[in-house]
Amino acid sequence: MDIEERIQLRLRVNLYFHTVLTIILTISSVILLGIDFILDHNLYFAFFLFNLLGLLCKIILYKKDFSITQRYFWVFSLVDVGAVSLAYYLTASPLSFVFPFYLICIFITVREIVPGEVSLATALSIIGFSLNLLLLWEKDPSLFSYTKNSYVLCALFFTYSALLFTATLTHLLSKQDHQFIKSMRAVLHEKEDHLKALNKVNASLEEKYAASYTLSLIQQYIHHELYESKLLTKITDIVQGVLGSAFTAIFGLAEDQSLKVLAYSGVKDFTSLLQIIQTPKWLPHKALTEQSLLGWESASSADIQLLQQYGINSILCIPLYTKEVKIGILVVSHFQANVFKNDQRELLQIIGNQLSLALENIKLHQATADMALHDQLTGLYNRTYFNNYLENIKEESIKKQKPLSFSSLIFDIDHFKQVNDVRGHLVGDDVLKIVASILQKNTDENSVAIRYGGEEFLLLSRNTDLNQLKEVAERIRQQIASLEFTDKEGRTFSITISGGIASIPKHAKTTEEVLQKADEALYRAKESGRNRIIVYNNLD
């Protein structure tokens, strides 16, 4: 997505959000205050007028040319902060419930499409909030008659701190976002360069090879197939059919540097042969190690003797790699001798190059998709996966025409804020990681562990046996309570967790309701002294 598309998307979302808030604000104000009250009070009328004019300015800018929109992008921050400042002033309270909107005005600039956008929104928010305090002081000094009270001073300190903290967080996220986009663009440009180079090679060889249809067919699969197993099976089938080989196999390089069969096609079962030649001392592993195409002429006497036992008299090993990253190897064999001439070698080398790039792209796609579904800190599933999981449960229930059967175990780390405040956020992150690992170890094929937010975790299970669920939850609680942590100063400490359990159909009928019931059980566990697991009970 280029800069113009990103700006248009940001503006469109901002307009929708502003429009919805304006409609809600207008309707609620007319109902609660009455239109006569608003018209009789100049400040209220001025606020509504400013809000509508600001919205109109946004709409006009949104419809202008991109150069004008980008130039006056600051107007959006000015309108948003101005509207929040007026609304804050109308509340006539020095510590108003409108304050969080200042934080929202800063945080919505997290993409920082225009340089300095975060700084502008932060400066405007601090100025607006400060003016609110000064004007409220001037309007009614009695509102600040208790400023010496430590509570008020602390509240003001935390409000300003919240503004600065939000600005800092937004800036860091913005910086991270730009770096991520930059790196992804670099990767995409690199891939595009590889594809362009391959397309040039293919174009130059198109007239030379009678097997060009095979090559184009493989290219089509590579560009459209995002699942490794399906892609590799199709390629081995095509090579097998075109060359009439004895067998065609694709081996992948595992983490322990051993080869494993990823796809195979053959006229008969060569399973025992594949198991032998995938070991380090045989020809395929040698070809991958040297990153060069090796054939019958490079085979050792032991290789030749083994292959001929299975009737194989020709073999070609094509290494699969990109730059210095080894991926695997493509092995093609034939019953006849001297089958793989230069044409076949060049064709298979091109297929190997394309297959290498395709496998790398597939792994990148899979890694990106996996990243989107996992919490970066703990490695557990995140809210996105959580929502998809619930939808799948609902669809499966409808498809099978069976009632929902589902349980929710919700956990919360007791007094986790104290860990962050006293021990530091890095220690707090380590605590979250360890708690997450314990939850993950206590999942099975019927359950998933999710980081729901902050120090709150979920264990979603298809099991509805409350006794078994309570045992699992208690085991998790005890394992965590038995741990001993050490902070950066060498001091040891421990933590506890509280949990709530609810299930369908025992306590609820919908996924939303069962989550609410589990949360209520967690709240009861907190009220009861923490470090305990409570199963929701419909009886008060």
Q: Contacts by 419-422 with C-beta closer than 8 Å and gap 24+?
A: 419/493, 419/495
CA–CA separation, 180 and 312 (whole Å): 50
- Looking up tokens 């006229």 gives 267
Alpha carbon of 48 to those of 38, 95, 97, 297, 312: distances in Å? 9, 22, 19, 85, 85
What is the C-alpha R_g of the chain?
A: 32
Bond prior to 505 in cis (omega within 30° of 0): yes
Task: Find the Cα–Cα–Cα–Cα dihedral 175, 177, 182, 183, rounded to 10°.
Answer: 110
Contact 532, 477 (CB under 8 A): yes
Closest among 226, 247, 102, 239 to 161, alpha carbons compared: 102
Strand partners, 316: 295, 332
**Distance of alpha carbon 407 from alpha carbon 471, whole angstroms:** 14
Closest CA to 210 of 111, 19, 341, 362: 341
Catalytic residue among 112, 228, 360, 455: 455
Look-up of token digits 């992150």: 429
Q: Is 44 helix (H, G, I), strand (E, B) or coil?
A: helix
Q: Is 360 an annotated catalytic residue?
A: no
Task: Give how far Cα 472 sits from Cα of 23, 475, 492, Å.
Answer: 48, 5, 27
State the virtual CA torsion across 486, 490, 493, 499 in degrees, nearest 10.
-30
Comparing CA positions, the residue from 108, 111, 109, 89 lying closest to residue 99 is 89
362, amino acid identity? I
DSSP annotation of 61 reads H
- Sign of the CA dihedral running 504, 505, 511, 514: negative
Q: Is 335 exposed, middle or buried (0-12, 13-18, 19+ CB in 10 A)?
A: middle
Catalytic residues: 455
